[in-house]
Amino acid sequence: MKEHKALAGVVYERGDRDTLILAAAWQIPPVALAAVRTVHRGCGLVGLAFERNATLSTCTGGRRKRFALPTPLPEAAAVALPVQDLQGEVTAVVYLNFPDDRRLRDDELIQMLDRATTLARRPPAAVPRVRDGLLRLSALS
């Protein structure tokens, strides 16, 4: 999401009751894809957002925290945005990380969640996917 100056991001779709499956990635190193293909409920920032059905963000003070992306990305802040269906169930989680150590304002989080929800609710053919190890998520950039 260029408008929010995100460094990288991923979109996870709900696989089953307790698992999210990687659906799309933007600026994620290819070596990291295998490590982030699935996220379990409650594991890392993405898994906690899934479990709690709540937007979560963090500032790391410049230190690398190992949440959903165990990769050498130089981010300092991250956000996990759960996308809900009309019944309020989490159907996807969008994870973004940022190069600067900053607190994300409420209005920024609302805009990001609106954008993430819009993307997640598009027909499947309209949303870029991770296929054959290639990174695709031009819709978020």
Question: Cα separation of 139 and 38, whole Å?
Answer: 21
3-state DSSP percent of the chain in helix, strand and coil, to 5: 30, 30, 40
Tokens of 1: 């999401």
Looking at this protein, which amino acid is placed at residue 21?
I
What pLDDT does 62 receive?
45
Q: What is the mean pLDDT of residues 92-116?
A: 82
CATH fold of 2-140 = Beta-Lactamase (3.30.450)
Q: What is the mean pLDDT of residues 35-61?
A: 87
Spans of all domains in the chain: 2-140
Q: What is the pLDDT of residues 109-120, one digit of tens each?
A: 888 888 877 766
